[in-house]
Each structure stands twice: as structure tokens, then as C-alpha cells.
Chain A
Amino acid sequence: MRSRFVRLIFGIAAIFTLSPRPSVGQIEATTAYEPMYTTDGHPDLQGVWQVLNTAVWDLEDHGASLGVPAGYGVVEGGAIPYQPWALERKEENFENRAALDPENKCYLPGVPRITYMPHPFRIIQQADKVSIAYEYLRAVRYIYMNGNPHPPGPIEWWMGDSRARWEGHSLVVDVVHFNDQTWFDRTGNFHSSALHVVERYTLTGPDHMLYEATIEDPEVFTRPWKISMPLYRRQETNSELLEYQCHAYLLEQEWDNPDSSFFQQN
């Protein structure tokens, strides 16, 4: 009887120590929420969504500085698992971020960064594809679900090639064919053209979605790693994607600047 009691204590202790606990800033995936369905019989993810965090500044825990808010990281496990050479390169990126961050040239931000830019986006579902229309740069991703596999590579695109399938209530998006030009955030977290991202979009309530992205890049990281964050449905009755044509404003600003470094060919 005593050993049974001991086993019970150990069992309870095991449950407490071994079950995954969400870090602050993340929420749990739950299949308890039964979403509305489209006429195609899939969860209806449609509407205007936006993140409410500081991931765009820094995917890891970070403090505040002038113009930069503090925030908890969105990386599961805490740190991005760089290879040693890549960690040095990340630090160089950080030191030179004003010159090197592709966002400062208004280039397409890549995936997953486009998701957590501080602008809303709209999800549109059809039989052959899911389209995500972003206010930022008026970018649009066509995520095909028409049975076509990724076209054969090598192909290098800023936003990669996206193909999706449904897994239970989750839209699972597989993205490959990236170039090496984008960063994950404003501190210089970067990748190579071997990047492979798997996103998951899962409704957790009528106005909340869980967004997860697994990042795999054997040339830069020691193992795959994952970020997750809530998406919030914009509540305003007149919610609308307006416009942010960053590159147009930048060209106009730099055009008359004789000291501009923007027009130097690299």
C-alpha cells in the first residue's frame, strides 16, 4: 500500500513537471473551440486580423529603448538556436541594423515576418487557395490548395512559395523557395535560402487565432525552432485594410537627397 502511495505521489509530480506549460506571451492550441465553417466545410478563418506584440522588434525577450517597446520573446525555448558562425553574423547584423535591415528599404519582409508587422491583414478562402491580403506594402500571398506541389527549385522568392492543407481545425502552410534577403525582425535575426517555414493557423475562439511557425534552416540553425503568438480579430465595425506603400514614400524622400545611399548599386 505504501509503494502505491509513493507511485501516486511520483505520478502527480510527473504530471506537474513533465506536461508542457505555455510561456508567458503564448497561448495553448486547443481543439475545444468549434469554429464556424465555410460552405466548403473548412474552418472559416476569414476576416481582418492583426498581432498585438513586439515580435517585429525582436523575436526574443528584449528590453526597451528609445522608440522600442519591451517584450517577451515568442520563441519556444527562449533562444534562437544559431550555429556559432551564424550567431556572430546575427550580432554583426544587429550592430549594422540601420543599414542592413531590408525593412528599411521597404522590401517585402518574407514569412513569417509579414504576419507580425504592425498592420492588419485579411484572410480570404476559396476552393483552390487561401489568399492573405496584407495592408503592409499591399502584399498578397496566394497559398495554393489546388493539388499542385511546390514547383521544382531552385527558386528564390522574397515571400517563398506557399502550399497548404487542413489538419483538423488548423490550416497548415508549407513555405519554401526563399531568397536569403529577409530578416525575421529588426534585430538582425536572419536565414539562408534553405529556409523552410511551416505555419499553422488555428482558431481558438470567435475572435482569436493561434499562429505558429516552425523555422527550419540547416545552414544557419542547429535544429528547427518555433514561434507562436495570438492573432486578434479587429473589432471595429468598419475594419478595413488601408494602405502603407512604404517604397513609394521612401523613393520620394530619397530622390532629392544628394547624400542618399539608397540609390547606390550593390
Chain B
Amino acid sequence: MCQLNCRVGAVALTVMIWVLVLGPRAAVGQAFWEDAEKLPMAPTWLVEKAKLPPYSPPMTPEGVPDLQGVWGGPGGDGLSYLEDHDFVDVTTPAQETFVSDPPDGKVPYTPWALARRNEILAGLGRGWAGESPERLYSSPAAYCLSFMPRFAFSELEIVQQSGFVIMLGEEGYRVIPTDGRSPISEDVKFWYGNSRGRWEGDSLVVEVSSLNGLGWLDSTGIYFTENTRMTERWRLVDPDTIDYEITIEDDTVYTSPWKMNFARRRPGTGPDTRRTRMPSAVALDAPSLDDPYAEEIWEDACYEGNREGPAALRAFGYDWFRGVTPPE
């Protein structure tokens, strides 16, 4: 009589162990997700944020808010699929939208621009419903390219010095002058754009111009252009949480400026969004609890190690994404 119960229990226990103990550290390269409740993002954060009491951040000796330390990204499935979506397949779990404004949570593309976005979506070649038989583009991040704002969504360490805010991450860095100097000419375009910061009350406000429009905002082709400007606001709302908001502005493809918003937590704080991940080939049991290297960033060298990736995608017939040029 125990046999059936025991086996069911053993399987359930195993699944629970996998689900509770294993996490993002287990699943690198490709995470596999199960069809579970929607991962929280902007709507949940807006509700949580509204309930927070007012908070005065600690200040640096220079008299500006002290945002220093390591800060996580948005958690969940990150920038995989920017708008609200249900479970698509094991690569793409259900997740709320990143978009906090407009309230419908959708990127306010103009009709022309939305048609281009939908073309890209239909040409991803991921086996999703509604795809065309043609392969169009793969996400630039698939080629190990790093760019804004994607880099700003990754886990990073903020270091503040007189006249600069520095952000150190695994795939790159930003050095943001806060001394009032002008940006470079807008005609000059970069993958990371050109950032200029200033302090407004408790917020670090960073204007990003000179973007080249060649990166995507997510992995499904939510694109921007070389006319796009972005404005970030970084603000401590409690000792362990930064409210990160980014406004995307480009009247050549969007009907209005729009915003993304999420919470960034210090490591070890905040809710656990690993829960719906399934293990991958690097499934593991509990690792050592006292890893002295846990806080170190080790070499990524993604481009160097991804040699066969671009070749495979090119052989499939994907084109190189060269940006979207809106009509005059």
C-alpha cells in the first residue's frame, strides 16, 4: 500500500527539491521553465511601491544619495519578452509586462512601427504560433553583443566617485559623468549610447543619447531606433531596494514616451522568483554554503566562446539586424 504513495511522494519530493533548491545558478545558457503562475514585473511592483513609506536614503560625503553596492536585475525571465504574456514554451514562461506607462502595459508603437515589430516577431524562427516560414533576425544578444539598455537591466555594482557614477557588470561597465559636462554630438552613435547623469532630489537621473538603434529591448524584436533617447531614474526606496525606471522617447516610432519600471534588490533580499524554473543539464544538489568567490565576477568571454552560434544562425538564413529606419 505504501508503494504507490511512497513513489508518488518520492517523485513529488524530488520535484520539490529541484524546484526549491535549484535556481538560476543551475541553469545557465538555457533555462527551461514550467507553465506556472505569472512572474511578477511592473504591475506588481507598482502596487508594492505604492505601499512603501517615505524613505530618506543615506548620503555620501559629497552630499548625494548613496546608491552604492551590488544590485540585481529584474529577476524572473528578465528581458526575454517585454510585454505581458502567458506561458509560450519552456523557453518563455508567463510574465507580467515591464511597461509601467502607458497603463495598458503595451509599447506604444505607431501603426507603421508596430507593423515592423510584428514582422520581426513573425520571423524569429522559434516555432511560435503565427510565425512566417521566413527567418528574419535573431536577437542581437544572441550574438553576445552587449548594449543599452540591456546592460542596465543586468546585475551590476554601483560605485560613486566625485563627479562620476560607475556601474560595473559582467558584460561591461558604464562610467556616467555627473559633473554637468555635455554629451558627445548626437550624430555619433554607440551601442551603449552616451550617458550623462545628474542628481534630482533623491534620484539619480541619467540621460542616454547617441544610441545606435541596433540593440533590441527584449529578445522578441521590441526595437528602438537611432533617434531614441532614454532617461533612467534610480532611487532607493528602502535600504535594500532601488526603484529603477526608464523612459523611452522616440517620436519617429512611438506615439508617446513610455516607461519600464522594476525593483532592484541587494543580493539575498526580495522575493524568490526562481520557483518556476526547471533544472537544466547543470542540475545540482546543495553546493557549498561558504563560497569565498561568490561575490567575484569571473570571465564571461561570451563572444569568444560562442563561435559556432553566429555561424549556425547565419546558415539558417537569418539576416543581420541593421536597425529600423522610420519614414521621413
Instruction: Please give the residue numbers on chain A whose beta carbons come within 8 Å of chain B beta carbons, in ascending order.
Output: 46, 106-108, 122, 124, 126, 128, 131, 133, 138, 140, 142, 144, 146, 148, 151, 157-159, 161, 181, 238, 240-243, 245, 247-248, 251-252, 255-256, 263-266
Contact = CB atoms under 8 A, between A and B. Distances in A.
B175 A251 contact: no
A142 B191 contact: no
B293 A248 contact: no
B237 interface: no
A-B pairs, 7 with minimum CB distance = A255-B320, A263-B311, A138-B172, A157-B299, A243-B190, A133-B173, A140-B173
A129 B146 CA distance: 23
A245 B296 CA distance: 24
B292 A265 contact: no
Contacts of B292: 148
B159 A248 contact: no
B328 interface: no
A142 B296 contact: yes
A108 B172 contact: no
B303 interface: yes
A136 to B, nearest CB: 12
B192 A243 contact: yes
Contact of B175 (A133, A157, A245): A133
Given A148-B292, A158-B299, A251-B320, A265 B146 contact: no
Contacts of A142: 168, 296-297
Interface string B165-178: 01010001101010
A148 B173 CA distance: 23
29 contacts: A107-B303, A108-B301, A124-B159, A124-B161, A126-B159, A128-B295, A131-B168, A133-B166, A133-B173, A138-B146, A138-B172, A140-B173, A151-B293, A157-B298, A158-B299, A159-B299, A161-B298, A240-B175, A240-B177, A240-B184, A243-B192, A245-B191, A247-B144, A247-B303, A251-B310, A255-B314, A255-B320, A263-B315, A264-B311
Contact of B314 (A144, A238, A263): A263
Given A263-B310, A263-B311, A124 B304 contact: no
Contact of A124 (B143, B166, B298): B166
Given A124-B159, A263-B314, A251 B304 contact: no
A262 to B, nearest CB: 8
A9 B292 CA distance: 60
A264 B314 CA distance: 11
B282 interface: no
Contacts of A128: 295
Contacts of A245: 145, 191
A119 to B, nearest CB: 14
Contacts of A238: 181
A133 B214 CA distance: 23
A248 B322 CA distance: 11
Give the secondary structure class of A's interface: loop
B62 interface: no
Contacts of A161: 298-299
B308 interface: yes
B25 interface: no
A252 B314 contact: no
A151 B319 CA distance: 41
Contacts of B146: 138
Contacts of B320: 251-252, 255-256
A134 to B, nearest CB: 9
B7 interface: no
Interface in B133-180: 143-146, 159, 161, 166, 168, 172-173, 175, 177
Contacts of A122: 175
A238 B179 CA distance: 10
A161 B298 CA distance: 8
A138 B173 contact: yes
A265 B143 contact: no
A226 B298 CA distance: 27
A238 B183 CA distance: 10
B48 to A, nearest CB: 31
B58 to A, nearest CB: 17
Contact of B303 (A106, A140, A241): A106
A247 B184 CA distance: 23
A157 B184 CA distance: 34
Q: Which of B143, B168, B297, B304 has the most CB of A within 10 A?
A: B304
Given A138-B172, A142-B297, A251-B310, A107 B192 contact: no
Given A126-B159, A248-B191, 20 more contacts: A46-B161, A124-B166, A133-B168, A138-B172, A140-B173, A142-B168, A146-B295, A148-B296, A151-B293, A240-B177, A242-B184, A243-B190, A247-B303, A248-B214, A251-B145, A255-B320, A256-B320, A263-B310, A263-B311, A265-B307
Nearest to A181: B304
A240 B179 CA distance: 13
B191 A243 contact: yes
Interface string B112-140: 00000000000000000000000000000
